[in-house]
Homo-oligomer: A and B are copies of this chain.
Amino acid sequence: MHFKKVAVVGIGLIGGSLAWALRKSGRVGEVFGVDVDERALSYAIDKGIVDRGSNKIDEVRDSEVVVVATHVRFIPEIVSSLSCIGLKDTVLTDVGSVKESIVKEVERRLPSDVYFVGGHPIAGTENSGVWFSDFALFKNKRCVLTPTERTHMRALEIVTAMWEIVGAEVFIMDPKTHDRVFGFLSHLPHVVAYALLNSTELDEDSRNFVGFAGGGLRDYTRIGASSPDMWSDIFLANKENVLLAIHRFKEALERIEVAIKKEDEKELKSELGKAVGVKRRME
């Protein structure tokens, strides 16, 4: 599939990487970028990440796809505002890490003749901003799309095609399942990474010797360095699932803690062995 024009609203790490990958594919006539941050926009234009750009959202008109790639909290507002600028034959999609609240809100607000498909590419790094864009970011990564009964098949096909152009493999999930699963698989690990880093602050010795952290703790620092603004939005937008995941995690932690306390070696090894099994199934 070829596109005449694709617009990306919000040229950060994800938006910039997507725009760049689409541009490099040679299968999109024009990649148009929108951002309110002039520095980000000039960078994207100078670097060839987008063909053209603007800080005015109504210039996305005539795009076949508009991808909203802002922080989670702004997505419903921006998607809804797009419906007012008279889009015809344009499919709207997003890249938010949370889907149920966004999809619900967007579907509540959008007129029925404007097409929207929720999306979430499973890619990213601890860095934020267009300066970290990587045109290979989505290559061989998964992208989850979350159509509902209101979603038009054609719109789903178009968004699927766009992600396939940048090398992603598309999976379908309903928004509710998506939020449950990623509450565990993505949001919880971030909560835990932040808490783990903070726990070293609660102990004077480990605070002073934090430079001695080996690979173990360093593995956590990648996601523990992720943008607090972005992640507090995500945790709050997926509040119930994140709290459930924290609850389950505390249960799992408690089992290990109790086994250590009781010096129950058999139970301890069994818990650790279970984790190794989960890891294997993840690969």
Contacts and interface: CB of A to CB of B under 8 A. Distances in A.
Interface of A: 122-125, 142, 144, 171, 173, 177, 180-186, 188-203, 205-206, 209-226, 228-229, 231-232, 235-236, 239, 242-246, 248-253, 255-257, 260-261, 263, 265, 268-269, 271-276, 278-282
A228 to B, nearest CB: 4
Contacts of A273: 228
Contacts of A232: 265, 268-269, 272
A8 to B, nearest CB: 21
A251 B198 CA distance: 9
Contact of A282 (B142, B213, B242, B255): B213
A219 B189 contact: yes
B198 A271 contact: yes
B206 A215 contact: no
Nearest to A251: B202
Contact of A181 (B194, B195, B206, B221): B206
Most buried by B among A200, A245, A272, A281: A272
